[in-house]
A and B are shown apart, each in its own frame.
Chain A
Amino acid sequence: MAEIVIRNLRKEFGAFTAVRSSSFKIEDGEFFMLLGPSGCGKTTTLRMIAGLELPTSGEIYIDGEEVSRKPASQRDIAFVFQMFALYPHMNVRRNISYPLVSQGMSRRQVSEKVAEVARILGIEGILDRPVGGLSGGDRQRVALGRAIVRNPKAFMMDEPLGALDAEFREHMAEELRALHDRMGATTVYVTHDQLEAMQMGDKIVVMNHGVIEQFGTPQDIYSKPATMFIANFIGDPPMNFLRVRGSVEAGATSIRFHQRTMAVPEMREPFDGDMVVGVRPEHIRFSDSAEIRGQVRATEYLGTTQIVTVATENGDVKARIASGIYARTGENVGLEFDPATITLFDNQSGRALRSDLNEGVLSHV
């Protein structure tokens, strides 16, 4: 069990700054996701928490104790890597018991612990099998078993499902999350897959170029993105951006552009210049009376819903609507946005303008 606090953490590799100045807090028992594209600094952050990398500056607290200069072995953390390495010449039981045996634990205690872990993971039946012939899922479970058998304060996982195919990944993600719910151990998990992060995480930190772009619950990050990067990185299809020129006053509940008026959440700051109107695909519906119009360019059937791409004078817009609604390529349609969900961005900096919708979650002032 552990609470982990990161304060002003920075890491430089020569002239390259991998992590700029990170601060966030991982509550005890949380499933915590570090999310971002490759090269954003998420793995470096994880490795610093685990003690595999020394920070250039900043502090790491595990249960109130500052550990940033301590070796990994004194932090009581278990690390699960993407390429889960098992000892090929040992059977499952010996792979799992290895960390305990090397700690000098008694044989009776070891066999009790291994039995308990095997039961949690549902692998009692394969304990005496060699690891060579195991399926990908079972290998993953054995690797996890070896991490949890030590009863560490926290788990660090670096894209543990990255090498699995899509169908199986979904299954293992559910299994991992269920395992976490049973054990309640603090878990820090690195991924570049936004769906995996949304699906499994209690909280998410989204990083880009070594900087934390946003920190919060999956729902807040999805519906109240702090930057255009987040709005585009999270969601499939991502948030639609309509580039417009205009101005808003603090307290305004609508914006004007191209002689049109669009309702938005009440603004908390004024802005004048190049703006971006951000709206999620599922917050758009077809309406004959809508002012924003365009031509249907493509439809993509997805079972219950469909994605309709509409070419408007402000660029392509993707709407997610019920698959029962008729939309034909070439047809002219009106688009109505749900005003309560709209985020406005400063096109230059990419930052979200403060409004009634998002002011509670935006950390920048």
Chain B
Amino acid sequence: MSEVALRNVSKWFGRTLAVDNVTLSIPDGAFVVLLGPTGAGKTTVLRLISGLERSDAGDILIDGRSVAADTPARRNVAMVFQQYSLYPHLSVRDNLAFPLRSPILRTPEDEIARKIRHIAEVLHIEHKLDNRATELSGGEMQRVSIGRALVREPAIYLMDEPLSSLDAKLRAELRVELKRIQSDLGATVLYVTHDQIEAMTMATHVGVLDQGRLVQFGSPREIYEAPVSLYVAGRLGLPRINTLPAEIFAGAPKGARTIGLRPEHIETGAGRSTKVMRVEHLGDQTRLHLRLDGHDIVTLRNGGREPEPGETIEIHPRNPLYFDASGQRIA
């Protein structure tokens, strides 16, 4: 495994700047998640590292060596795509062996057998090795296609929303699995998603992309607790952060235009009077929908008596985040 670095990388598609001067370092053994909405440039970054796209500016280094001029095959990276593409006529074993038997790698058969045994163990699919690929469930198929990337021991694994085609329960299971596999193998992973739960739960580092620019890079906790901008603050957290005019509560610093309040950072019992519009019971949490000066606010009930819709309750902020007119964080 090895370190992968992007230095001032840019990529144009016609007149669109898809990746805008991105500098990023993926440490050895890290699980880096690139997070952003559709069109933010996540997949393009992945394709630039794999060599499926050529950058227009900047350099890409794997273990300190520039690979910008290398073909995809020579870069020693492995990709896992959203849609698993297994060979339906081959067994699970042959699907896993396929990349190792490629003319470039030409792995000896006893070595192949050893590697497949190991990967099958890691993926918990030992008992399915002789099944046809078509006889597997969706989750097993995706595990095999991840396994096909894993057998190669590349410098880095590049994964493009590999869980997005699975149903919710399976996705939750494979999130934990993938994280376990990565840490068992000490693999370096760059993972692209628009799903904030995947980013928060699996990443050692999260990179937030906005229109091709890398706007923040840090641990999930840093991104959640100390976002650099309104845009970043809105990417993590469910229910979403409440954003209101800064002067709605006393104490806003100079230059503040917007106050950002996470639902769990609204205290009740003193402060401004708000009307309870609706109470939502989600089982593990109860959400209160409030209305203050024409703005909707969502907060979580934290013990105590539950208010009725139509009732008035007092609220005040705890740990507020303040942003200036351009959306940059100032306090």
A234 at interface by CB-CB < 8 Å: yes
Query: Beta-carbon contacts of B42-83 to A below 8 Å, as 1s and 0s?
Result: 000000000000000000000000000000000000000000
Residues of A within 8 A of B278 (CB): 177-178, 181
Picked from B172, B175, B237, B283, the residue with its CB within 8 Å of the CB of A234 is B283
Q: Is the CB of A297 within 8 A of B201?
A: no
Given A302-B201, A303-B224, 5 more A-B residue pairs with CB atoms under 8 Å apart are A218-B283, A219-B281, A300-B202, A301-B201, A304-B264
A282 at interface by CB-CB < 8 Å: yes
| A298-B179, A300-B175 given; A199·B282 CB < 8 A | yes
Residues in B lying within 8 Å of A, measured CB to CB: 37, 168-169, 172, 175-176, 179-180, 183, 195, 197, 200-202, 220-221, 224, 236-238, 262, 264, 277-278, 280-284
* Minimum C-beta distance from A348 to chain B (A): 23
* Minimum C-beta distance from B310 to chain A (A): 11
A-B contact pairs, 5 of them (CB 8 A): A219-B281, A236-B172, A280-B283, A297-B180, A309-B176
Q: Is the interface of A mostly helix, strand, loop or mixed?
A: mixed
| A49 to B168 CA separation, bound complex (whole angstroms) | 29
A57 at interface by CB-CB < 8 Å: no
Q: Which residue of A lies closest to B286 (CB)?
A: A219
Q: Which residue of B lies closest to A238 (CB)?
A: B169
| A185 to B179 CA separation, bound complex (whole angstroms) | 47
| A236-B172, A237-B172 given; A300·B282 CB < 8 A | no
| A177-B278, A303-B237, A304-B264 given; A222·B283 CB < 8 A | yes
Residues of A within 8 A of B195 (CB): 166
* Minimum C-beta distance from A224 to chain B (A): 11
Q: How many cross-chain pairs have Cβ atoms below 8 Å apart between A and B?
A: 65
Q: Is the CB of A300 within 8 A of B201?
A: yes
| A236-B168, A297-B180 given; A302·B200 CB < 8 A | yes
Q: Which residue of A lies closest to B198 (CB)?
A: A300
Q: Is the CB of A303 within 8 A of B200?
A: yes
Q: Is the interface of B mostly helix, strand, loop or mixed?
A: helix
A111 at interface by CB-CB < 8 Å: no
Q: Which residue of B lies closest to A221 (CB)?
A: B283
Q: Is the CB of A198 within 8 A of B224?
A: no
A195 at interface by CB-CB < 8 Å: yes
Residues of B within 8 A of A329 (CB): 183
Number of interface residues of A (CB under 8 A): 33
A217 at interface by CB-CB < 8 Å: yes
Q: Is the CB of A298 within 8 A of B180?
A: yes
* Minimum C-beta distance from B31 to chain A (A): 12
Residues of B within 8 A of A302 (CB): 197, 200-201
A223 at interface by CB-CB < 8 Å: yes
Residues of B within 8 A of A167 (CB): 37
A279 at interface by CB-CB < 8 Å: no
Picked from B200, B281, B284, the residue with its CB within 8 Å of the CB of A217 is B281
| A309 to B280 CA separation, bound complex (whole angstroms) | 27
| A219-B283, A235-B283 given; A300·B200 CB < 8 A | yes
Q: Is the CB of B284 within 8 A of A280?
A: yes
| A219 to B287 CA separation, bound complex (whole angstroms) | 12
Q: Is the CB of A218 within 8 A of B284?
A: no
Query: Beta-carbon contacts of A207-220 to B below 8 Å, as 1s and 0s?
Result: 00000000001110
A317 at interface by CB-CB < 8 Å: no
Residues from 163 to 207 in A contacting B, C-beta threshold 8 Å: 166-167, 177-178, 181, 195, 198-199
| A189 to B200 CA separation, bound complex (whole angstroms) | 32
Q: Is the CB of A198 within 8 A of B283?
A: yes
Residues of A within 8 A of B172 (CB): 236-237
* Minimum C-beta distance from A343 to chain B (A): 13
Which of B168, B224, B277, B281 is most buried by chain A, counting CB atoms within 10 A of its CB? B281
Residues of A within 8 A of B200 (CB): 300-303
Residues of A within 8 A of B176 (CB): 297-298, 300, 309
Residues of A within 8 A of B202 (CB): 300
* Minimum C-beta distance from A290 to chain B (A): 21
| A309 to B175 CA separation, bound complex (whole angstroms) | 12
| A199 to B239 CA separation, bound complex (whole angstroms) | 12
| A236-B172, A307-B201 given; A301·B284 CB < 8 A | no
Which of A195, A236, A282 is most buried by chain B, counting CB atoms within 10 A of its CB? A236
| A238 to B168 CA separation, bound complex (whole angstroms) | 11
* Minimum C-beta distance from B281 to chain A (A): 4
Residues of B within 8 A of A234 (CB): 283
